Every structure is written in C-alpha cells, then in structure tokens.
Structure 1
Amino acid sequence: MNNKYILEIRQGIGGDEAIFFLQDLKKMYLKFFQKKKINYKLLLNLEKEIIIEIEKNFYDNFIFNESGIHRVQRVPKNENQGRIHTSTCSIFIIKNTNNKNFIINNNDLKIETCKSSGSGGQHVNTTNSAVKITHLPTKIFVECSDERSQFLNKSKAIKILIFRINNYIKDKNNLELNLNRKNTIFKSERSKKIRTYNFPNNKIINHINNKNYFQLNKIIDGDLDIIFKN
C-alpha cells in the first residue's frame, strides 16, 4: 500500500520576503517531521520551490488542512522604515500516485544544462550542473540545481518529472481537482487562506478553525502539535 505523499511549497506574492518565508516554512515542516520521526525525503530544494516526499503515518489533519495559502506579516530585514509587509507561500499536498509501469520516451524529453547559481561555494559555479528537463507532449518541466553534479540533478529531475506527468495523466479528466490544484499552485493570491503568521504579535491565526495561537516562535520551530491537537 502506497502511503507516500508529496508536499510542495512555492513562493507566492511578496518578492524576496516570500522567498524568506518559504525557507521558514521548509524548516518548520522538516523540524516537525524530525520531532515526530516521520520519514521524509527532500526531492527539490530551490529558492522558490520546495518538494518533499513524506510518509503518511501521522495526523489526517496535516494531509487535508495544510494545502492552500500561508501568509506572513512582519517587518522585512531590508525595511528601513519599520513597515509591516504581507507575503504569501502556497502549499499543496497530494498522494504520490506514481505508476511504476509508466515509461518516458527519451525522444519526448528536452534536456538543458546551465551553470548553477546560489549557495554552494565556488565549485557549484564551475560546471554546468543545473538541469532543466521538459516533457514535450505535456509541456511539463522540472528544474533542478541543488545537487553538485549534473548526474544527480538529472536523476532527481527525472523522478519529479515522472511524478508530475503521472498526476497530470490521472487528473486531466477531473476538472474539479485540476481547478483546485491550479488555484492553489499557480494563483496563490486567490486561494484559500490556511494560516497567517503575524510576527509582531507572536501570533498565528488558523483560518481553518478561526483560532489564534500566541506561540508563533514555538510553532515556526516545528511544534505544529500546538495547532494539530487543538
């Protein structure tokens, strides 16, 4: 029985602050998984997109109540006038329904390489290690640059590409699911709000149950049980 799920975190509105918030959310979830001894695998670790494979051996609340928009309200580090900014990230959780019999035709793939950018020291900029793979029939593509070698980036990109194509095939006749996913991932400013993280007041507003939690620092540090068990 397949009990694996895919957790996607993507930058929403808010520019650089949304990117910083995305990294905060990634750390929050990874710390939660570690505390609860939940098996996970970081499949994609980009500046504007995170993909984590997780096993469903925990609360159904997490699976069904995290997908949507997570909003942050705080003063950015580069804000000189002390103004509070609002930024968002979108989260989508879906069952990993990879079809083991599915085979990608190499002729349907366009593989591009380029120099990686970002953290990683000098080595990461000396080779064409970043990979972008496009599945031409569906126009679905994956970019991967978080590994140091082109081989590892290509292997990871292929795995994610197969997952996305499988879900595309599965969902293409399900209009409602497609619309929900499109709204969640690609139109994040219009999607359902899940939580607001208000740093000035150390408060989290959970829009699912309309409750306020004045323990933001603990929750953002991975103590999500404060929300899930209340």
Structure 2
Amino acid sequence: MREMLDQKLDRYLDLEKQMSDPEVQGNPTKMAAVAREHGSLAKLAGKYSRYKELIAEMDELREMAQSDDADEREMAEAEIESLTVERETLWAGLLDMTIGGEDANRSRCVMEIRAGTGGDEAALFAGNLLTMYQKHCETKGWKMEVIDSSANEIGGFKEVTVGIEGEGVYRELQYESGGHRVQRVPETETKGRIHTSAATVAVLPEPEDVEVDLKPDDYRRDNYRASGPGGQKVNKTDSAVRLTHHETGIVVAIQDEKSQHKNLAKALRVLKSRIYEHLQRAENAKRADERKSLVGSGDRSQRIRTYNFPDNRVTDHRIGLTIYKLDQIIAGNVSLLTDALIEHDRQTLRESMEQ
C-alpha cells in the first residue's frame, strides 16, 4: 500500500509541475485534463504528505525521548502520544481512500450493460438495470450520460453504454462489474413459470487524455449508416463511427448521435477507457495474489448477483450477502449492496496489512 501511495503522491507532484508548464497552459484541452486529475488526487496526496511528515517528526521525537534531560524526555513522549493518535486517524483515512485499488478515487467511469441469455426478457432486465443505476446516480448527485444504446422492439436494451461522473463514482460502481442473473415471471408468461435470464455489467475507469495518448494513426476509423431496431434507418447519412485499435484489436462502434463528430468523440472516450482497462488488467495480473481476495475484481464473466423477484430477494454471491429488499434496490438503492461490498474490502485490506 505504501508503494501505491508513493506512486500517487509522485503523480500528484508531477501534475503540479505540468500545471505550471507554459506548454501545458497553452493547450486548454490538456490543461483541463491535467487539472482534473490533479484535483482528483488532491485529498489523497494531502493526507499522505501529512502522514509522511508525521513519521519524520515522530522519528525525531523518539531521539529526543532518549535525552538525559528529564523535561525534554517528558515533552517528547507527550508529543509522540499526541502524534500517534493523528497518525492512526490519517492512516485509517488513507486506507478508506485506497479501497478498490489504484483507480478508486477516479470521478469518471464508463458503464456498459449487455443483455445475456434469455432473449427479450434479458433485454428487459438490462433496461431494469439501467433504470436502477440512473436512479442511484440521481440519489448520489452524480451525472449520467447515455453514450450509445441498442434498444429492442419491446423497450429493453441489447446493450447500452453510459458515462458517469461524480465524487466516489468508480470506488462504488466498480463492484457492479460482472454477471447479473434475474429470476422472475415474465409479463409474456401465461402459465406463471419463473424464468431465469442474465445481463452483464462492465464498469471501466475513465482515464484522462494525458494517461492514454491516442493518436489517429493508432486506430482505424470507419463511418457507416446508423440503423435502429429491426434494421430501421435512423438517418440517411454515414453518421455512425467504428474505431479499431491497431495494437489491442479493441473495437468500439457508436451510432447514438446524428452527428458524426459527436459519435467520434463518444467512441474515443469509450476506446480510451477500454484501452486503459486492458493495460491495467495486464498490470494487475502481475499482482494477482494481492487482488484475488478482494471482491471488486471486475470479471464480467463471473456471476456476481442474483435478483429473485418472487421472494423479493437479492443475493451477492461474492460475499454471501442476501437482502430481502429487492424492491428498494431495483428502485435505485444500490448502496444497500455496495456499502456491504466496500466494508468487506475494507476488512480484507486491514487483515492483509496486519499479517
């Protein structure tokens, strides 16, 4: 953890230098990205800087506590006691701020929801998840923007991508990555039988432009005509955009806007997030043992949760949590689950540091 905190502090100081660089100041886009990332690290950097100062002060006081002067020893010991309390408080705060990994403090993320097995019922469930997260974001005061969507004829979604912005966004929503299973009686079911269907959710931290430097030569761009449900034409211009990243093979296609320029901007936003996730996944593989016990692994192939409507029950399989408040959760009170998941990570992290 100390190594990660040192890296974050170094990054903060580097960004601080960049903000004073005339070249960066002369580039409004880069300056905005640098300032945003600098701001997102400010609280963590401030706490950790003070923590390091305290450690240095306490080392000096311990030397004073060995003095032959009784008054000097007494003063040093009293200060050590006071600073120890402050140090423990700071460390607890730092621990909370680092739960969820290196990207925990990001204020922007991209969420992708896709219908899985179950046909129309799975698409309807994907729509239910989208509404659930929309209401949760409203409660939290977060901003959600639909980047791209593919609806079906009965009001569900084959897939939908949204951008979410706000304090604590990624720290909390990363726990939603994975497979979501629903058990309920579909409206079209005449015999009252319970059907099981699924959707997957992927939550990607959204990097700043300065972190993923994506040039036009790095990807292939294809423009094509957008289409709606059932092949219905949305417009008569080639406004849809498909980007293919040469190095990783990652493909992003966006057709939500009628403007090609807007679709390109959204596609680049999603592509950068997926590239960043790809790079982080490779890096995290090196630290697999460190992360494997934490619940926020983000593996979308893993079934993380079951929503049972007949019993009004939600079960999170990662920590064995069952709550009989499905009606509240599907109405947007996702914190009933994420608070428990964050607390589980907090306890796991503390235990791992005590070993």
TM-score by length of 2: 0.53
The alpha carbon displacement at 1:173 in A equals 4.8
- Kindly report the root-mean-square deviation, in angstroms, between the aligned alpha carbons of the 2 structures: 3.2
Change (3 A) 1:43 1:115: closer
SS state at 1:154 partner: helix
Whether the aligned pair in 1 keeps the contact of 2:204 and 2:277 (CA below 8 Å) is no
> Which residue of 1 is the match for residue 204 of structure 2?
94
Larger CA deviation: 166-175 vs 128-137: 166-175
Whether the aligned pair in 2 keeps the contact of 1:116 and 1:129 (CA below 8 Å) is no
- CA deviation vs aligned residue, 1:60-82 (integer Å, no higher than 9, x gap): 4x345322221101122333433
Residue 104 of structure 1, aligned match among 199, 215, 219: 215
Give matches, 1:198-209, under 5 Å. Answer: 198-209=308-319
SS state at 2:234 partner: helix
The alpha carbon displacement at 1:105 in A equals 2.7
The alpha carbon displacement at 1:29 in A equals 0.7
Give matches, 1:87-166, under 5 Å. Answer: 87-100=197-210, 102-106=213-217, 108-118=219-229, 124-166=234-276
Q: Is residue 2:170 matched to residue 1:55?
A: no
Work out the CA distance in 2 between the residues paired with 1:217 and 1:182: 27
Whether the aligned pair in 1 keeps the contact of 2:174 and 2:204 (CA below 8 Å) is no
Whether the aligned pair in 2 keeps the contact of 1:98 and 1:166 (CA below 8 Å) is no
Work out the CA distance in 1 between the residues paired with 2:339 and 2:273: 32
> Which residue of 1 is the match for residue 69 of structure 2?
none
Larger CA deviation: 73-82 vs 49-58: 49-58
Change (3 A) 1:69 1:117: same
- CA deviation vs aligned residue, 1:130-159 (integer Å, no higher than 9, x gap): 222222332211111222232222221122
Q: Which runs of 5+ in 2 are unaligned?
A: 1-36, 41-105, 151-157, 341-355
SS state at 2:142 partner: coil
Whether the aligned pair in 2 keeps the contact of 1:65 and 1:194 (CA below 8 Å) is no
Identity %: 32
- How many aligned positions are there? 221
> Which residue of 2 is the match for residue 6 of structure 1?
110
Q: 1:66 is aligned with what amino acid?
A: E
Q: Which runs of 5+ in 1 are unaligned?
A: none
The alpha carbon displacement at 1:174 in A equals 4.2
Work out the CA distance in 1 between the residues paired with 2:280 and 2:335: 33
Whether the aligned pair in 2 keeps the contact of 1:44 and 1:52 (CA below 8 Å) is no
- CA deviation vs aligned residue, 1:76-101 (integer Å, no higher than 9, x gap): 23334332211112223333234426
> Which residue of 2 is the match for residue 79 of structure 1?
189
Change (3 A) 1:225 1:126: same
Q: Which structure has the highest helix share of the two?
A: 2
Work out the CA distance in 2 between the residues paired with 1:211 and 1:116: 42
Work out the CA distance in 2 between the residues paired with 1:145 and 1:177: 37
Change (3 A) 1:182 1:195: closer
Change (3 A) 1:222 1:84: same
Q: Which structure has the highest strand share of the two?
A: 1
The alpha carbon displacement at 1:217 in A equals 2.0
Q: Is residue 2:135 matched to residue 1:24?
A: no
SS state at 2:202 partner: strand
- CA deviation vs aligned residue, 1:4-52 (integer Å, no higher than 9, x gap): 2333322322222222111111110111110121234333333324233
Q: 2:334 is aligned with what amino acid?
A: L
Residue 39 of structure 1, aligned match among 115, 119, 143: 143
Larger CA deviation: 207-216 vs 14-23: 207-216
